[in-house]
Chain A
Amino acid sequence: MKRAHFMLFSLFILLLTGCSDDRFDRIDPHQSFVASVNTLEPSITFFDQSANEIALWPLEKAYTGAVLVGNDAILLYGHQLAEASLYELSTGKHMQTINTGLGVTNAYFDEQTEKIFITNSKTNELTSYTMKGKLQHTVKLHNYPMSMLVSDGKLYVINYKDTILSVISTETMALLDEWDIPTSSHGLVIPNGRDELWVGGHGEGSSPNQTVDIYARSTGEKLKEIPMPLMPVGFSQKNNEIAVVSHGGNILYVVNEDGTIKWQLEIGANPFAVAHFKDTLVVAGYDDHAIYFINNKSIEKKAQTGKGPFHLLVREG
């Protein structure tokens, strides 16, 4: 009798360990989702269009960010981790480890060149990798490179603790230009078809930034400021509409490409990320651990995420 119990127990343990075999919940390749990357207690929560939670990936390592690589991969990185990990979404399996070294601040995937760009605050370097995680080039930038955006073969990198924005060629990794910007800048967007680069930021010292600064892409010259208090740092663009979240004021601004504010909405608690997901706008509140689905200028749905949603990743099938 006892032996039978033991066998049963052993089988159970075997099953358990078998299930937890370094594998997360699978994500259907045809499933559209918005995923919140939660950093306070690291995890990733996947939602469908109706704000239903479809998967939860609890993360054991102190990941501070994630980026989708292609259609079926996700790259997880951490500022205090020496390695970044590439997972396959459809299987939930670990695919690849990239030795980044400590100090990773951001990762960006350029679909055009199929390159992964990783910025590092310890080395102040920008490194490019292939989709499979193979190291390609490294280029030295300025203090604390972080925010990145690719457009027309140019990678725009904000040096967060510096007053310089670096423009890099995605092909050659050559430094093309450097512009003056305020320190603690964060968040980039390029309105479709315009010679503009919008830069958000936190502000310096005790004074919070109130505006989104617009620079001429061709010259790097500052064109104007659009007041969007306080501390606009999250951007998302779809069609002719740009969504901006100001985490200091808990406000979502929706603006035209010319910078006129169409409407605004007080939303979430300390929201850092905004994303367009199909016809819906999604905002993540870092302090209230919630994700908001906005339609017709109002909150349609609200769902709980893991603690501290910091990034939003969108895949539209």
Chain B
Amino acid sequence: MKKLSSKIWLLIVLFLSATVVFMYIFTNFLYEQLYVEDTKVTMVEVGEKLQTMYKGGKVTDELIGAIDHYAAYSNIPIFAVRNPRELSACVPFDVDYDALIGPDERQQLIAGNAVTKIGYETRFERQIISVILPFTDQNRLEGIIYLYYPLAKMSELAKEEVVLLITGAVMFLLVAAFFVYQGMRKILNPLANLQLAVNHMAKGDYATRVEVTSKDEIGTLTTAFNQMARSIQREDEAQKSFLATVSHELRTPISYVKGYSEAIQNGYITDQKQDEAIRLIARESARMERLTNELMQLARKDEKMPISEFEPLVLAETIRDAVSLLQNQALAKRIQIEQSLEEELIVMGDEEKIKQVFINVIENAIRYSQENAVIFIDSKEIDNEAVITVTDSGIGIPAEDLPHITERFYRVNKARSRSDGGSGLGLSIVDQIIKQHDGKLKIESTIEKGTDVMITLPIMEEL
């Protein structure tokens, strides 16, 4: 009874039962009404025809005989009465005798009207429908024609079929209930599957999917569930791989630090090489520091930056600051950085973070460029937005890796993870900061030809 399907099924079956009962009563009512009405009309017709046999004066034995003769062949009991006792002629007197017609009916009949009655008649000891027509002559009620038909016969007629009717109704209800049950099961089964899937999900089985079998609301819900499941699964996998990557990334420098420090402690390293070992330890420590800093930055991913902390920035200056910070790296690879910056571009933003964006992007360009290469940095206003393009002629990114380039720890060349010095978090941070500034990041790349990184930031609205 707790199941929705059971409730709906019960409701439908109840409705069906109510309909069947109502229809039965209504049909019965109609049947009786129509039948009674039809019988009445027939009786009045017959009576009126017989009435024409009366030519005035006393009601003769011949007339009564003729009506009796007709009645012998009729399926409606008919008789003529001329006995004034039966016609309530003694009405002003208190008469013990129960006459065929009452005082009011007598008045109607004297007026020449037909009287029809439906009800129990003590004379016949049963429910009858009766039609009474008068033989009147000069206001004298000389006699009447009395036609009647037992109502019981009609219900008897109906009674024969009542068993059939009830059996039919019960059969119909059973069949209807069965099909409704089947239908309900078919309709609501996906819901049950969905519920099962939700349970699986709750237990941590994110690979659970439900087969979409319909296009109705349940189908839509199932599709939405599947999408949700996919998202959760992806997130979960990303989380796992992220943790794996983090621990992997941290383990390498830690083992360096641990190994070298133990070696120094145990005196395995000669004094000449000790400096180098310490430098190595310092480098790996710096690397760990940077990694943890970047991780912390990423951990704030979901925190929306308060707009109030934004300030107007002259974009060209910020870019120049970033470039000057990377000048040494560029010089080390003899890479030339060409800048074509529009000086009037002012954007709203956090200076440190915007600078971080350019540092990361330009650092990548330097990292993946050959020696003696040239990097172009270009900024201009397009459609009320500042568009900054960093173009290198480096190794490029394969097309299949492009969509994932901003994912954390995603590396195009997995084998070169550490040799190129990146943590795999740079572009993730760039993407996150740009999103916080309502900007866009677009990366186009051709392998072995170079990469274009386009950053779009909204220009500060003039007040």
A-side residues, CB < 8 A to B, are: 39, 64, 79, 105, 121, 144, 160-161, 184, 186, 202-208, 230-231, 247-250, 268-270, 272, 285-288, 290, 308, 310
Q: Output the nearest chain B residue to A285 by Cβ-Cβ distance.
A: B139
- Report A-chain residues with C-beta under 8 Å of the C-beta of B138: 269, 288
Min CB gap B145→A, angstroms:
18
Given contact pairs A287-B106, A308-B92, enumerate 6 new A-B contacts (beta carbons under 8 Å). A205-B97, A207-B85, A269-B110, A272-B92, A285-B139, A310-B92
Contacts of A272 in B (CB 8 A): 92
Digitize B67-95: 1 where CB-to-A-CB distance is under 8 Å, 0 elsewhere. 00000000000000001111001101111
- Identify the 8 closest CB pairs spanning chains A and B, nearest first: A248-B84, A288-B139, A269-B139, A269-B140, A208-B85, A202-B90, A310-B92, A287-B110
With contacts A231-B90, A248-B89, A308-B92 known, is A206 near B83, CB below 8 A? yes
Q: Is the interface of A mostly helix, strand, loop or mixed?
A: loop
CA distance A285 to B138 in the complex (A): 11
Say how far A245's CB is from chain B's closest CB, in angstroms. 12
Q: Is B347 an interface residue (CB 8 A)?
A: no
B144 to chain A, nearest CB (A): 14
Contacts of A161 in B (CB 8 A): 94, 96
Distance of B112 from chain A, by nearest CB (Å): 12
Asked if A206 and B85 make an inter-chain contact with CB atoms under 8 angstroms apart, the answer reads yes
Docked-complex contact A247 and B84, CB < 8 angstroms: yes
Interface residues on chain B, size class: 10 to 19
Assembled-state Cα–Cα distance A207/B85 (Å) = 7
Determine whether B319 belongs to the interface, using a CB cutoff of 8 Å to chain A: no
* Contact indicator A202/B95 (Cβ below 8 Å): yes
CA distance A177 to B104 in the complex (A): 40
| Interface pair A39/B141, CB less than 8 Å apart | no
B84–A287 CB distance below 8 A: no
Residue of A nearest to B141 (CB): A287
Least CB distance, B429 to chain A, in whole angstroms? 103
B140:A208 contact, CB within 8 angstroms: no
B residues less than 8 Å from A247 (CB atoms): 84, 89-90
A181 to B110 Cα, complex, angstroms: 33
Q: A298 to nearest B CB, angstroms? A: 15
Q: Shortest distance in angstroms between A121's beta carbon and chain B's nearest beta carbon?
A: 7
Q: Can you identify 12 A-B contacts, CB atoms within 8 angstroms? A: A144-B94, A161-B96, A184-B96, A206-B85, A207-B85, A230-B84, A247-B84, A247-B89, A248-B83, A248-B89, A269-B110, A270-B141
Query: For A208, what are the chain B residues with a Cβ–Cβ distance below 8 Å?
Result: 83-85
A280–B258 Cα distance when bound, in Å, is 158
CA distance A184 to B94 in the complex (A): 9
> Which residues does chain B contribute within 8 Å of A230, judged by CB atoms?
84
A157 → B minimal CB distance (Å): 16
Give Cα A203 to B86, complex, Å: 12
Q: Could you tell me the distance in whole angstroms from the C-beta of A246 to the nearest C-beta in chain B?
A: 9
Q: Which residues of A contact B106 (CB under 8 A)?
A: 287
Q: Is the CB of B92 within 8 A of A231?
A: no
Q: Considering the chains assembled together, what is the distance between the CA atoms of A269 and B112 in angstroms? A: 14
